[in-house]
Copies of this chain bind each other. A is one copy, B any other.
Amino acid sequence: MTAVPAGDWPRRRSALPERVSIREVGPRDGLQSEDPVPAADKVRLIDALSRTGLSRIEAVSYVHPKAIPQMADADEVWSAVDRRPGVRYSALAPNRKGAERALDAGFTEIEVVVSASDTHNRHNVRRGTDESLDDIAELITVLHDRGATVEVIVATSFGCPYEGDVPVSRVAGIIDRVVADGADRIAFGDTTGMATPRRVAELLDAVRGGHPDVDLLLHFHNTRGTALANVLTAMDYGVTEFDSSVGGLGGCPYAPGASGNLATEELVHMLDDMGVETGVDLDALLEVAELAERLVGRTLPSGVLRAGPRSRLSG
């Protein structure tokens, strides 16, 4: 064993954040990739999540029902949700019409999306990245005028399934642009699970420091097993906000049963053991993950849901 100098655990612990803020994306990002679920079940899921200690929930998206039929009932869902004080609910809007629907529904935190990869953006919305950035600039004005904050989600930030590696300079350029246009928050999406600790470090090297006042959130997929290694790397860089999805809701584009979104309970479980506070009650969350499995009628990929937390002993 090589004794390379490395910090002892108490010292390493003190370099970690005291607290991490988790945004639960199962009801939106997760369910939009599952077979359709009735509105009442979505409400049940959101309300159950809001009682676990989670402080942020992505509730719905206002997309065209032909594009994503799973989200056609956004208004019905949101109007029935028992909005819990202290929980921040957000909605995704792909365009001006969606943004206006989200505002009319009373959302004050709105997410918009652009792909760092031009090819991926064209596959998604039939427009180039630059055109989408122009749209987003206009959306930010509209949303700010009506008192909402705007998060720009940069999809394929760690790689594109069509183009391969996406240069970090390209992602950094997009950040410069949307921050100049007024974005309040940035999320880096690992859309198809191409992030590794090296990609996370390279991207954060390129953008951190440049925009110290913009909230930064990372959204990892566990498609290739690296999600928690990526979280660990991002925390080393001072990132304290992560997306995750209860039970790992949200299929993988490649194969049924394969892992897509990082499961919230795997994230909470690791952070709990490392002494990083999330505010989430893991036992309560695991009950919601069981509910999520019943609602979608399939086994979800979460290991902590399957095996239980490490503290759960055998008889």
Q: Which residues of A contact B (CB under 8 A)?
A: 1-4, 6-9, 12-13, 15, 17, 159, 161-164, 192-194, 196-199, 201-202, 204-205, 208-209, 211-212, 214-216, 222-229, 231-233, 236-240, 252, 254-255, 257-259, 262-263, 266, 269-270, 273-275, 299, 302-304, 306-311, 313-314
Contact = CB atoms under 8 A, between A and B. Distances in A.
Contacts of A13: 198
B198 A240 contact: no
25 contacts: A1-B239, A3-B238, A4-B236, A4-B238, A6-B208, A9-B205, A13-B198, A163-B313, A192-B307, A196-B310, A197-B232, A197-B274, A223-B307, A224-B303, A224-B307, A225-B269, A225-B304, A226-B266, A229-B229, A229-B231, A252-B306, A254-B307, A258-B307, A259-B303, A259-B306
B1 A254 contact: no
Looking at chain A's contact residues, the main secondary structure is loop
A224 B266 contact: yes
Nearest to A232: B229
A193 B266 CA distance: 12
Contacts of A7: 236
Contacts of A254: 306-308
Given A228-B229, A273-B198, A310-B159, A257 B4 contact: no
A22 B248 CA distance: 29
Given A193-B310, A229-B231, A254-B307, 8 more contacts: A159-B310, A164-B311, A164-B313, A223-B307, A225-B262, A228-B229, A258-B306, A259-B303
